[in-house]
Amino acid sequence: MDHRTPSLPPKTALTRFSVAPLSTMTRRLADVASGRAPADVVITGARVLSTYSERIAPEREIWIAGGRIAAVKPAGAYRQVAGTPGRIYDAKGGIVAPGLVDPHIHIESSMITACAYAEAALLNGTTTIFCDSHEIGNVMDAAGIEMMLEDARHAPLSIFLTVPSTVPATSPDLETAGGDLTPDKIAALFDRWPEAAALGEKMDFVPVTMGDERSHAILAAALERGKPVSGHIYGREFVAAYAASGVTDTHEAIDRDIADDLLDAGVWIFLRGGPPTTPWHSLPEAIKTITELGSSHKRICVCTDDRDADDLLMFGMDWVTREARRAGMSREQAWSMGSLHPATRFGMEGEIGGLGGGRRADVVLLNDELEVQNTWYGGELVVEGRAITPVLDQALSNRYRYPAEAYRTVHVSKRPKLIPELPATACEANVIRVALPGIVLFHDKVQLQPEKDWDTLLSKNGLTFVSVIERHGRTAGAGIAHGLLKDFGLKSGAVASSVGHDSHNLIVAGTNEGDMQVALDAIIEAQGGVCVVDQGRVVAMVPLPIAGLLSDKRVTEVAEETRALKAAWEKAGCKIPYMGFNLIPLSVIPEIRITDKGLVLVPEMELVPLYEG
């Protein structure tokens, strides 16, 4: 069994973007670097950002041969070499830097395929990503993950998998998932796919720290193969046991103090930069472990985690590095945290993350504000002047087609009743209170007095209906649970989604059952999506026919649909973004969630009834 660090994944469908292994190119690279042979590409007239020394050197040029970097030389040095380079590009004084490496993302959160994701990533200067595909794993088990890997092999982007570790996220007693990734299935993914670089975020941090047998068997499947383990943790009290269990990175360092604890426990931290209006923007607080507590940045990376297609175009990894700079890092430090540091974390600094000799020629041209102007992927110019080139456009037009079964994953056989019974007597309700940024949900107990109808009761208490419907065909009849949201803010109508993390059952919220049913029917008919309904009409929708998670369109098309959805969502009055709404069933984050089995208290991991007393 080969447990070596993998090289970059093969490009079976897009051979134009393939780069030969360094072991087969050393003589040619040495000839070019020594001036005995001309380079294929020379990028001259540049300032070169070195992530190794964290300096910017003026008047330099980069020699590229066979898709790899042969040397960094003084500007104009190519003129003294015998022969003429294949192509010469004048950077006109811009900053040349290594392509960005995103250490933690979920392609499915962008609601597009891996091939479509590549377009936005390259526009943002990102040339390598490490993705955790636990979302499609929760719907389609290991088969779905392998579909995503095939998709990734077709994409003009270097894509590694951090193998999903927590599918399902909780016990079958607490929710119904479509997948069940056992330790044996995870081991098989590691052994079959060279792109499987690490174990994905171990979200069940409470069972891990409590010594759960299955959780630790999954950890062992990675550790026995020499694979690093990624984490996901809330609460400083869990850090020591989590680190002792073999977890060596996390993107959930949400504030200064837990970030500091994690670093001292030997855990890499990924500062998650998200659009400020979403729940994902923890970088400004967590980076204070450097700026206020004096920590070194050497084991700190930046990452994006979750982006929808619209935000992906505007708030990519380049934006996150600029956020790190605004938070106190130098330009060189910020770019290193987005390139060399992630490469080092995954043991690939000899291949990506810097502009050293022999490294893959993933190169970006920046202006002084670290805004991406051009991107070279494996020495091929794929973005020029902030627009994709014809060669990239052609590659993106030949996307991977998912098998037919991926388009048939929403199974709701019985029309369910979407609202609970109106309480006939006074009672106490276990209510989910939402608040920005929308990750943590709060458990409120609300005293309800009997009313003549639901409209009166909801308006008096500031409540909204919410229901989760099982959609994997695992429940006889219609598996559904009812709940009540407080402070959700929906003024009228309903909203619904098939992206109900992490089991991805259907979640519907509304002010009346009629609009909730229209929303549910729209999701079922499209075999997935996110929608807003008012007065019996779908006013905005992003269809997601692949596993109820992904569109099969280009990123620009999905971004346009997503912008319309967000505008309708805001107009409807919803107080948290739709991506926060999708987290309402995520039963591993405090304090209370709702799944298809009912209301779940976290971290107690106990079901409670909607009404008591």
Q: pLDDT tens-digit profile of 332-366?
A: 999 999 999 999 999 999 999 999 999 999 999 99
Query: Given CA atoms 257, 263, 266, 272 in this order, what sign does their dihedral have?
Result: positive
Residue indicated by tokens 């020379």: 42
572 within some domain? yes
Beta carbons of 506 and 520 less than 8 angstroms apart? yes
Query: Given CA atoms 185, 190, 194, 198 in this order, what sign does their dihedral have?
Result: positive
Query: CA-CA distance, 540 to 561, in Å (whole number)?
Result: 8
Question: Are 455 and 333 contained in the same domain?
Answer: no
Query: CA-CA distance, 543 to 551, in Å (whole number)?
Result: 6
- Tell me the residue range of the domain where 599 lies: 407-612
Helix (H) or strand (E) segment spanning residue 456: helix 454-461
Query: CA-CA distance, 406 to 317, in Å (whole number)?
Result: 29
Query: CA-CA distance, 497 to 594, in Å (whole number)?
Result: 14
Nearest to 104 by CA among 17, 23, 199: 199
Predicted TM-score (pTM) of the model is: 0.93
Domain count, the chain: 2
56 within some domain? no
601 within some domain? yes
70 within some domain? no
182 within some domain? yes
Question: Are 483 and 440 contained in the same domain?
Answer: yes
Question: Are 377 and 439 contained in the same domain?
Answer: no
The CB density around residue 245, as the number of other CB atoms within 10 Å, is 18
3-class secondary structure, 362 = coil
Residues of the chain with pLDDT under 50: 1-5, 12-15
Question: Are 106 and 216 contained in the same domain?
Answer: yes
Query: CA-CA distance, 81 to 83, in Å (whole number)?
Result: 6
- Domain final residue, candidates 336, 368, 397: 397
Question: Are 467 and 582 contained in the same domain?
Answer: yes
Note the pLDDT tens digit of each residue in 88-119: 999 999 999 999 999 999 999 999 999 999 99
Query: What pLDDT is stored for residue 519 in this prediction?
Result: 98
Q: Which residues contact 123 (CB under 8 A, 6 or more apart)?
A: 313, 316, 372, 375, 383, 386, 388
58 within some domain? no
Nearest to 489 by CA among 535, 547, 433, 558: 433
Question: Are 421 and 393 contained in the same domain?
Answer: no
Query: What pLDDT is stored for residue 1 in this prediction?
Result: 35
Packing angle of the helix pair 134-154, 114-123 (nearest 10 deg): 70
Query: CA-CA distance, 601 to 273, in Å (whole number)?
Result: 28
CATH of the domain at 380: 3.20.20.140
7 within some domain? no
28 within some domain? no
Question: Are 464 and 582 contained in the same domain?
Answer: yes
Beta carbons of 516 and 465 less than 8 angstroms apart? yes
**Strand 480-486 versus strand 494-500 pairing type:** unpaired
Question: Are 480 and 557 contained in the same domain?
Answer: yes
Question: Are 557 and 481 contained in the same domain?
Answer: yes
Question: Are 359 and 417 contained in the same domain?
Answer: no
Query: What pLDDT is stored for residue 410 in this prediction?
Result: 96
Please list the helix, strand and coil fractions of the chain in percent, rounded to the nearest 5, in that order: 30, 25, 40
Question: Are 237 and 336 contained in the same domain?
Answer: yes
Query: What pLDDT is stored for residue 275 in this prediction?
Result: 84
Query: In the 8-state DSSP scheme, what is residue 303?
Result: E
Query: CA-CA distance, 5 to 226, in Å (whole number)?
Result: 9
* Mean per-residue pLDDT of the chain: 94
Query: What pLDDT is stored for residue 3 in this prediction?
Result: 38
